Structures are given as C-alpha cells and as structure tokens.
A = this chain, B = another copy of it.
Amino acid sequence: MEFISGIKEKETVSIYDIILGGDAVGNRETGIAMESETVRLNGAIHTIRDMSEFAFIVLRKQEGVVQCVFTEGSVSFDLKSLKEGATVEVQGVVAKEDRAPNGFEIRLTDIKVLSMPSYDTMLPIPISKWKLKTSLETKLSLRPISLRNIRERAIFKIQEGIVRGFRDFMFEQKFTEVRTPKIVAGNAEGGANVFKLEYFGKKAFLAQSPQFYKQTMVGVYDRVFEVAPVFRAEKHNTTRHLNEYTSMDFEMGYIDGFEDIMEMEQSMLDHTFKFLEKEYSKELQILGVKLPDVSKIPTVRFDEAKQLVSEKYDRKIKNPYDLEPEEEILIGKYFSEECGSDFVFVTHYPSKKRPFYAMDDPTDSKFTLSFDLLFKGMEITTGGQRIHNYDEQVAKMVERGMDPEDFTDYLMIHKYGMPPHGGLGIGLERLTMRLLDEQNVRETTLFPRDVSRLEP
C-alpha cells in the first residue's frame, strides 16, 4: 500500500534561500549566503535581453525577479527557442552582483524548459516594463497577463496584507470569524440596487451586506467578523463604485456607545498599517507607498462638518441632510489641513439617510448614532450602533412603511434578546485604492465587475 506523508523536498531553491542560506539559519549582514554555490531554481521568463556576447534572462518568481546570465558555450541551449512566458528550471552559479535585483545573479550552466507559451510574435502588453504605460481599459481586458507585471501584482499583495492585518487584529480582540450566506431572501440595505436571482422557483437576491447575519451572530459569539464579497446592482459607472466588492465587516456586542466601534476601527487600522510595514515592506517600496499615521483620528459631527467646509471653502450648503462626494473631498481636505490627518470620522448622520436598523440619537432623533470614516476625502466605512430593542425596531420599521412580518427571522434576535451592539463595513478595494493613491477603484480590484465589465 502506498501512502502520502509529508511534502517532499525539492532540489530547487527560492530567492530567500539564496540570500539567507538554505534553511534560513541566519542573514549574513552583507553578501549572499549561497554565493559561489551551484543552485537550481524555477520561474517564468520575465524578459530576455540579448547583449550579443551574452544575454540576460530575467526569471519571475513569486518573491521577486532573478537575473540570470546566459553565455554562449556555457549552456548547451538555443536561446532563440526561448520566449517570454515560458517556464523553466535553470541551473547556475550564484554570483554577487550589486546592480542585479536582490544583489545577485545566476551564471547559467543549464536550462530545462518546463512549459512553452504558444503566441507567435510578442505579448499583447510589455509586462516586464517597470510601469505598464497602458490604459486602464487595456490593462483590465488583459488582466490575466497584466497582473504578471511586478508593480501590478504588488498591489494585490498589499491587499492581502490589509486583510491579514484586519483578521489578526480581530482574533486578538476575541472576535469570531463567520461565513454567512450570499444568496438571501431579503435585503438589509434596501433600495433598488440589488441583484435578483431565480432560486428553484423562488425569488432570491445576492446579499448587499451581511448585516442581518452578523447582528444575529453577535447574539451567539458577542463579537464577530467576516471578510466576503457583497453585491450591489449600482447602475452608475463611477471611479469608486463596483458591483461586486469585498466587505470587511465586524459587529460587536456590549458596547457603551458607537464610540467603541470607532475606537476598534482606529486601533485596527493602526495595527494593520504596522503589520504592512513589517510584512509587506518590499511591496510598499515597489509602489512607493507612504503609510499614513493613524495613531489618532479626528471626529466631527455630520452637521458640523458641513458647516466647517461651507465656511472655509466658501461653499453653499444645498441639502443639510446629505453629503455630496464634493463635500466629502472638502471635509477630507479640511482635516488634512487643520490637523494633518488623512482620516476623519464623520458622526451622527441624519436618520433618513441611514437604514432602518440604525439607532437614533436619543437627544435628537433626526440624527443617528452612526458614522462614516473618510480616507483622503472618500468614504471607506459606514458603521454605527444598531437598535437592539424589539419594540423600538418594529416601530421604526412601521414608521418607514415596512412590514415587520417580512422580517420575522431577523426580528427573532431582538425578540429573544440582544446586547447593545454595533459594527461597521469597510470596502477593501476602496481602502487599498486610497492607500495607494490610485484614482480608480478598478486599479485595486483583481477582476472588477461593473455595468459594462463581466470578464475576465
């Protein structure tokens, strides 16, 4: 009988192995641990530069690129048979070379082809260039290839890091990770922007948010979080809207007020940016990202923010109950100028602008105990305290012309007891976009979905 037991060690090494030494026993202060050693490594041909006497073959590996030197005679291999996109396993001697990426190059003695691409002339975009100087449209249409560019792929490593930082912090704060359904019978956020679905003869929807479920799970675990896709059938094609995006949600019970939620978010961001600095410094450097200071975040009331911006930038308030994108930008600008913060919590949004589950401010029910977090003038989070009392929730539904009968399952939690609680949702792609100073949220979405884009 045959068994699978453990991962067999490979002959091939990684860039880390070469720099740090096979088993990463320690980083020699200077130099390359495996210098002068013969190594085997694999990768994709990122680019070939033929210098007539010799050629540079740059290998693309997950952890970076490796410069290999091909000299006629040293390798019994026809260089012309190789092209970008081929994958190979090479053998060669490690040589210190300060001008090469990571400070070393491989002087080739053998090339074994693992796979060959099948195109005729050249790649549709020059992915080995440092910056892809092509339109967003082209980049997105060729996403499977354009992502192979070193800068492009660094974006989504940083995005990975944001989620890791978020989760790490959530676990540290005793939140439980949950997975809630995306096919739902009703929708929490209301409005028309919901995708409909045929579900075995019944009408179903794609979840606009995990709202009902995360509140439900607070009744079970006190504190929960989820990182998952949400779906919004928004018809406008703006630079900041997506029809499918990743929402980082948390919800927490036993709060004293919605300030607890803002504190949790500020601390989470602080933790996450420190985590990025530590674990993703390479990618931050590739993209030239400067992490913002989030050790403290200013807060301002919604009505006050409108007033401040109106005065400072000489702008008329058109609608006292709504915030235009232009106003968000100016609020961001105001707090950047006045206290050097890229972030600002805008609190006490008007009740009519918040969903039925938002808790009204007991001192003035025109406003809610809620907030948005703006990052460089763009909303990346909506959060707040929720109604936990059954009668209060039913009354607010009725007031809005909703039928509580339609929400029996949801209202079960209020009926059988919920602690005071609240939470928030963070748009991952928007947060990434702002952090990287991108101008379009599609730049920081792996495979964006919008009104006109369903592929790739």
Contact = CB atoms under 8 A, between A and B. Distances in A.
Interface of A: 1-8, 10, 12, 14, 42, 44-45, 61-63, 84-87, 89, 114-119, 123-124, 142-145, 147-148, 153, 156-157, 159-160, 163-164, 171, 173-174, 176-185, 195-200, 202, 204, 206, 212-213, 216-217, 219-223, 228-229, 231, 233, 235, 243-244, 246, 253-254, 256, 259-260, 262-264, 266-267, 295-300, 338-339, 345, 388-391, 409-410, 412-420, 428, 446-447, 449, 451-452, 454-456
A334 to B, nearest CB: 11
A447 B181 contact: yes
A187 to B, nearest CB: 12
Contacts of A185: 454-455
A4, A14, A244, most chain B CB atoms within 10 A: A4
13 contacts: A3-B298, A4-B263, A4-B297, A5-B295, A115-B389, A144-B416, A145-B413, A147-B219, A179-B246, A185-B454, A185-B455, A199-B454, A410-B456
Contact of A391 (B118, B206, B228): B118
Nearest to A212: B456
Listed residue (A114, A243, A264) with the most chain B CB atoms within 10 angstroms of its CB: A114
A168 to B, nearest CB: 11
B176 A118 contact: no
Contacts of A8: 260, 263
A421 to B, nearest CB: 9
Nearest to A84: B417
Nearest to A178: B446
A409 B454 CA distance: 11
Contact of A197 (B61, B195, B216, B221): B195
B412 A297 contact: no
A420 B4 contact: no
Contacts of A296: 3-5
Nearest to A201: B451
A10 B264 CA distance: 13
Contacts of A196: 197-198
Contact of A4 (B164, B213, B246, B262): B262
A233 B197 CA distance: 11
B6 A417 contact: no
A220 B148 contact: yes
Contact of A297 (B5, B63, B87, B455): B5
Contacts of A198: 195-196
Given A4-B298, A62-B174, 5 more contacts: A85-B417, A114-B420, A123-B416, A180-B446, A213-B446
Nearest to A115: B388
Given A229-B182, A447-B180, A220 B415 contact: no
B176 A455 contact: no
Contacts of A200: 233, 235, 451-452
Contacts of A143: 216
B298 A2 contact: yes
A89 B255 CA distance: 11
A228 B300 CA distance: 37
Given A87-B417, A123-B416, A144 B409 contact: yes
Contacts of A176: 62, 156-157, 160
A217 B62 CA distance: 11
Contact of A339 (B1, B243, B390, B413): B1
Contacts of A119: 415-416
A418 B115 contact: yes
Contact of A449 (B164, B183, B253): B183
A119 B391 CA distance: 11
Contacts of A388: 115
Interface centre among A142, A148, A163, A428 (most CB of B within 10 A): A148
Nearest to A243: B183
